[in-house]
Structures are given as C-alpha cells and as structure tokens.
Chain A
Amino acid sequence: KQEVTQIPAALSVPEGENLVLNCSFTDSAIYNLQWFRQDPGKGLTSLLLIQSSQREQTSGRLNASLDKSSGRSTLYIAASQPGDSATYLCAVYSGNTPLVFGKGTRLSVIA
C-alpha cells in the first residue's frame, strides 16, 4: 500500500528565504506526483505535476523535482513571500486509483 510522508510537518521562515519541502513515497510505481497548495478553509490548488518520466517541473518561483527510484520529491520555493503561507500537500498517482496524499507541510512566511 502506497504511503506518502511529508517533512517537515510545519515550517516558519522569514520573508525572502529559499526553502525546501520534502515528500517521500514507498512504492515507486507511480504515474505522476503532484504538489498542491491549500489555504485555510479552501480547496486545493494544483501547483506542479511531474510525470514519472520527468525529473523536474518549474513554475515561477517554484521548482519540483522527482527521484522516482528513491521515492522522493522536493518542492523548492525561492525568495519566499508572506503570500506563500499555506499548507503544501504532496500526492502520488499510481494509475486508475485515487491520489494518495501526504499529511502536508504548514508553511508560515513571516514579513
């Protein structure tokens, strides 16, 4: 059974810092991995999706990497801003199955 772990559970950084969020998964047979952002009381916003054949994806200040063989992904946020404060969720898709989510990392960026 696929399990997804996110470290750290919570993170507080000053504005302007670069930061890395970690995600690991136990079964490397995945189709893709996705990073989401969730603001309090809101739904999910998809940030980046990495197909199993890809190594990384970039969108603005966000860069996500995938090492499928080792079961790891990282989300890199450059020059963090207070507006980046949210919970970041990692999820893996293994084909015709529901996404398996990690428990998330709660990020606070302090001005």
Chain B
Amino acid sequence: GAVVSQHPSWVICKSGTSVKIECRSLDFQATTMFWYRQFPKQSLMLMATSNEGSKATYEQGVEKDKFLINHASLTLSTLTVTSAHPEDSSFYICSANLINEQYFGPGTRLTVT
C-alpha cells in the first residue's frame, strides 16, 4: 500500500529558530500534498495545499511567510516553521493524494521552548 513518511517524528527547538519538517511519499508520486496542524484534543486543521512545481495554497489565517512550503519533487514536500514561537507547538501531519485517496504521514510533534 501507499506509504507516507515524515521526518523528524518529534523536534524541540528554541523560540526564534526555524524548523523544517519533511513529508515523503515512499512508493508513489504525489503532485498534491496537504499539511495539517492539530492542537491537543482538537481535530486536524488544514494549513495548506502543496502543489509540485508551484506555490502552495494556504488556508485563511495561515501565515505563508511563517509556514514556508516547498514541493520540489513528486515525492517530497517540506514545511518550514520560521522564527518559531511557543504557540507554534503542535502536531503537524502531512498527507499525499493518490487517485481518490489520501495517505497520511505519522506526524511530527513540534515543541518550541
């Protein structure tokens, strides 16, 4: 079956630094990937749609200059949280489209101290 990986699985960083999270489709190509954020005891909130070879589409209220998305190849999308603050601490999950299904990565736990 289709597998999506994320790296790292968890990361702790200091306030003001930047953190990059990778999302890879391991056995298929994905022109479209999605990035979600999940706060404790909340459901997943879509942050942006990542399109290979073009700019990402951000949801309302998500700062594109703070959450940089790069989808440089058909198997890799990256999310960079720039100048991270404690309020950015969250669980970040990516997914990749294959035909009419989405396959989810295992998530990345970001803690900003």
Q: Mark A residues whose CB is within 8 Å of B.
A: 31-32, 34, 36, 41-44, 46, 49, 89, 93, 95-96, 98-99, 101-104, 106
Tell me how far the C-beta of B111 lies from the nearest C-beta in chain A, rounded to whole angstroms: 12
Total interface residues on B, CB under 8 Å, equals 20
Q: What are the residues of chain B within 8 A of A98 when measuring CB–CB?
A: 34, 46, 49, 95, 102
A sample of 23 cross-chain residue pairs with beta-carbon separation below 8 angstroms, ordered by A number, consists of: A32-B100, A32-B101, A34-B101, A41-B91, A42-B106, A43-B93, A43-B104, A43-B105, A43-B107, A44-B93, A44-B104, A89-B43, A89-B44, A96-B32, A96-B97, A98-B34, A98-B46, A99-B34, A99-B102, A101-B44, A102-B43, A104-B43, A106-B41
Q: Mark B residues whose CB is within 8 Å of A.
A: 32, 34, 41-44, 46, 49, 91, 93, 95, 97, 100-102, 104-107, 109
